[in-house]
Amino acid sequence: MNITEIYTPGTTALAGKPNSGKSSLFNALSGLNQKIGNFTGVTVEKATGQVILPSGKSGTLVDLPGTYSLFPKSEDEAVTANILSDCEHYDYPERVLIVADATALKNSLLLCSQIADTGIPCLLIVNRVDLLEKSGKRIDFEKLSQAIGLEIMPVSAHTGFGIGELQHRLGQPFLPAPELFLKDLNTSESSQYKTFDDYKSFLKETSKNLNATTAAFDRAEALMIQDMLARYQRIDQILESVVVQAPSERPKKQAADKLLSHPVWGYVIFMLALAVMFQAIFAWAEKPMEWIELFFSEAGQIIAGLLPEGTAQDLVQNGILAGIGGVVVFVPQIAFLFFFIAVLEESGYMARVVFLMDRIMSRFGLNGRSVIPLIGGMACAIPSIMSARGIPDKKERLITILVTPLMSCSARIPVYTLLISLVIPEYYFWGFINIRGLIMLGLYVLGFLMALLVAAVMHRRLPQTQPLPFILELPQYRFPSLKNIFLTVWHKCIAFIWEAGRVILMISIALWFLVSYGPDAPRAEIESKYEQLSTLEGQNPSELEAQKQAELLEVSYAGYLGKAIEPIIRPLGFDWKIGIGLIASFAAREVFVGTMAALYAATDQEEDPITLKERMRQEIFQDSGKPVYSLATGLALIIFYAFAMQCMSTLAITKRETGSWKWPGIMLAYLTVMAWVGAWVVQVMMG
C-alpha cells in the first residue's frame, strides 16, 4: 500500500522570515479553507488552514509569525521561537515547512539552519523561483540540498509553479535534518550545544534571558551573536558553491527605487496612488451599493407582506433589516479599499512606502516600522495595533498603539460616505475628479497628520529610550497575484461582515426596543391625543401618523437617553437622535449608520420607502425649525468621527497589548476631547 494512502500528518507549521512569501504560500495551499484566531494565551494572530492530501484527507497548516531568527526581538517573533524550541509547547507542530525567499536566500538560511538544529522534521521550500531570472541568480538546488542536509522544493506561490507537487509531498512524512550545522558549529569556541536537545535548551535559555538582568542579557546576547556569526560564515561558504550571480536587471530596480523614494516625487506618487484609490472607492462601488440598497428595500417590503402587523414585523423590518442593511451596503467600498492595499503589498510598493515615510516618522519620535500599523489602520485599528508588536522599542510601540486610532479605518467609511453624500453636492473637477472623493482623501490625510502631531507630543512627554536603527528589506517588484488579492479581500470582507454583523444585530435589536418602547403614561397620552385628532374632519391620516410616531419616539427610552446627553452635544449642532447614534457607535463606528436607519425608519410610515439620506435631510430642530443636517453640522459630525474613539474593541485590544487599563483610558480621554473640540471649531467657523 502506498504510504500516502495510510499517512495522516498532524499539524504542519509554516515558518519563514517576513516578506518571504509565506502568507502567499499559505493561501495557495489552503485557499478559502482558512480561519483566523490567536495563539493560545497571547494576542498574536494565528492563521489556520486545511489542505487536501492525496489520500483525500485534509491536513492542518498553521502560519507562524514571521521571524528572522529563533532569537526573538519582539512578541510575535517570540511566539515562533518558543513554539519551535519547546517540544512540550501546546502549539508544537509535528513538522515544519521552512519558507525561504529565492532572491534573498542568505537571510532565509539562517532561520532554516536554526530550525533544522532543533531536530524537528522539516522541509525547505524555496519560494519565488520565478523571480530568480530577474534578480540575475541561478541556484543549484540539488547541491544546496546536499550541503544543508534538507530536502528542498522550489516553488512559486505567485505563479503556482510546484504547488501541486508540494501538496502531494505533504501527504508523506518529513525527516529530521542530520546534525550538519551542529557539527560545523560545535567548535571549541562554540561548544554550548552538542545535540538537538542541547540546542533547544540553548534557545530557550537565551530567549528567557532577554528580559533578565543586564549581566544575563549581555551573556545571552554574546552567545546569540556568536551563534549567528558562525552560521552566517557557514552559509556564505555554501552559497558560494550553489548560487551563480549573472548580469541582472538591478539598474532598472535601482532607477525605480530612486524615483519612488525621491524626497519630492516619492510623496507625490504616493499621494496620487491614494487619490486614485479613494476616487475608485466612490466611483466603482456606486452601482453595487445601489443594488444592495434595493435588495434590502425589496426584502423589507416582502417581509412586511408576509408577516402579520405587529411586533414581529416591526422588529424584522425596522430593527434587523434596517440595521444590518445599513452596514452591508458599504461592503463594496470596503472591498475596494482592501483590494488596493493588497495590490500595494503584493507589488512590493508598500515596502517602499515604509522606507519613504521613515524620513517623516523619525522627526516625530517614531521610525519606519510604525508606518506599517498606521497604514494598516486605514483598514482596521485592531490588527494594526496588534502588528505594532513587531516594533522592538517599547516607547515607539506604545506611541504607535496610542495614535493608530486616528487613522481613518474602514469602519469609518460607512459614516463618511453617508455624511459626505448627505451634505456635499456631487461635483466634478475637469469632468472626472469627484469632490466627494477628494474630501474622503482629505480625511485620511488629516488623520495621518494628527497622528504625527500627537506622536510628537507623546514623544516629548514619555520617558526617553535608546532608539534602535531602522532596517528594512525591500522585496522584488512583481505583478500582483490576483488569486492572493482575491483571497485577501474575501477573508477581510467576510471578517468585517461577521464581526460587524454580530454587533449590528445585537445593537439593532436593542435600539429597536429602545425606540419602540418607553414609559407607559406619556405613550398612552400621545395615543389618546391622536385618536381624538383622527376623528376630526380635514385631517390627513398619513401626516397624523407621522406626527404621532415622531412624538412617540421622543418619549421612548431612546429619546430619553438621547436628550440626556443633548446639552453636551448641542454646541456641536447635534440633536438627541445624533446623540443616540454616538452612544451606539461605541460598540463599532459603523453602527452609527444602522442606528440612524433604525431611528428614522421608526418615524416613517409611508407606503413608498425613501432612503435614509432623504429621511435625514427632512429632519429639523423642533425649537428653531432649521435643518438638523446643515453643511456645518454634517462637517462637524464628520470631524467628530475622524477623531473620536468610537470602538470598544480597539480599547479592549489596547488593554491587552499594554497590559493595563491606564493607556486605553488615556486613549479614550484624549481622542474624545479632540473630537468634541474639533467638531465645535467647525460648527463655530461655519455655523
Average pLDDT value for residue range 115-142: 84
Checking if the pLDDT of 673 tops 90, the result is: yes
Average pLDDT value for residue range 515-522: 83
Question: By the 8 A CB rule, do 368 and 361 touch?
Answer: yes
Average pLDDT value for residue range 210-221: 61
Residue 135 pLDDT: 66
Residue 4 pLDDT: 47
Alpha carbon 596 to chain centroid, angstroms:
26
- Give dist(CA 542, CA 606) in Å, integer: 7
**Residue 676 pLDDT class (50, 70, 90 cuts):** very high
DSSP, residue by residue, 13-79: EEEE-TTSSHHHHHHHHHTT-EEEEE-TTS--EEEEEEEE-TTS-EEEEEEPPP-SSSS-SSHHHHH
Q: Which amino acid is at 495?
A: A
Checking if the pLDDT of 233 tops 80, the result is: yes
- Give dist(CA 518, CA 599) in Å, integer: 14
Residue 190 pLDDT: 47
Checking if the pLDDT of 77 tops 50, the result is: yes
Residue 605 pLDDT: 41
Q: Which amino acid is at 164?
A: G
DSSP, residue by residue, 384-439: HHHHGGG--SHHHHHHHHHHGGGS--TTHHHHHHHHHHHHS---EETTTEEHHHHH
Residue 43 pLDDT: 46
Maximum average pLDDT range among 67-71, 218-222, 623-627: 67-71
Residue 679 pLDDT: 93
Instruction: Give pLDDT tens digits for 540-549.
Output: 777 677 677 7
φ/ψ (deg, to 5) at 154: -75, 130
DSSP collapsed to 3 states, 446-466: HHHHHHHHHHHHHHHHCCCCC
Checking if the pLDDT of 615 tops 90, the result is: no
Report angle CA 513, 515, 518 to the nearest 5 degrees: 80
Instruction: Give pLDDT tens digits for 618-646.
Output: 777 766 767 888 888 889 999 999 998 87
**Residue 678 pLDDT class (50, 70, 90 cuts):** very high
Question: By the 8 A CB rule, do 576 and 566 touch?
Answer: yes
Average pLDDT value for residue range 534-555: 73
**Residue 392 pLDDT class (50, 70, 90 cuts):** low
Q: Which amino acid is at 675?
A: A
Tell the burial category of 383 from Cβ atoms under 10 Å away from its Cβ (0-12, 13-18, 19+): middle
Q: Is 574 left (phi over 0), alpha (psi -120 to 50) or beta?
A: beta
Residue 123 pLDDT: 92
Rg (CA), the chain: 29
Checking if the pLDDT of 188 tops 60, the result is: no
Three-state DSSP class for residue 630:
coil
Sequence-separated (6 or more) residues with CB below 8 Å from residue 408: 377, 378, 416, 443, 444, 447, 642
Residue 52 pLDDT: 79
Checking if the pLDDT of 390 tops 70, the result is: no
- Give dist(CA 312, CA 310) in Å, integer: 6
Average pLDDT value for residue range 560-572: 87
Residue 212 pLDDT: 55
CA distances from 238 to 97, 125, 244 (A): 21, 17, 12
| DSSP category for residue 468 | P
Work out the percent of the chain whose per-residue pLDDT is above 90. 8
Q: Any long-range contacts for 34-37 (C-beta under 8 Å, 24+ apart)?
A: 34/491, 36/491, 36/495
Average pLDDT value for residue range 11-26: 86
Q: Considering the chain, what is the average pLDDT of its residues?
A: 77
**Residue 3 pLDDT class (50, 70, 90 cuts):** very low
Checking if the pLDDT of 125 tops 90, the result is: yes
Q: Compare 156 and 583 and report the one with higher pLDDT.
A: 156
Nearest to 283, CA basis, from 432, 176, 181:
432
Average pLDDT value for residue range 416-430: 79
Checking if the pLDDT of 658 tops 70, the result is: yes
CATH class of 3-245: alpha beta
Is the pTM value of this prediction over 0.75?
no
Question: By the 8 A CB rule, do 454 and 666 touch?
Answer: no
Residue 402 pLDDT: 92
Domain ranges of the chain: 3-245, 260-461, 518-686
Q: Compare 388 and 598 and report the one with higher pLDDT.
A: 388
Least confident of 15-24, 163-172, 224-233, 384-393: 384-393
Residue 636 pLDDT: 92
Nearest to 199, CA basis, from 70, 315, 90:
70
Nearest to 372, CA basis, from 364, 362, 386:
386
Average pLDDT value for residue range 415-420: 86
Checking if the pLDDT of 337 tops 50, the result is: yes
**Residue 607 pLDDT class (50, 70, 90 cuts):** very low
Nearest to 410, CA basis, from 469, 347, 336, 475:
336
- Matching residue, cell 463655530: 684
Residue 681 pLDDT: 94
- Give dist(CA 670, CA 667) in Å, integer: 6
According to DSSP, the residues that pair with 95 across neighbouring strands are 12
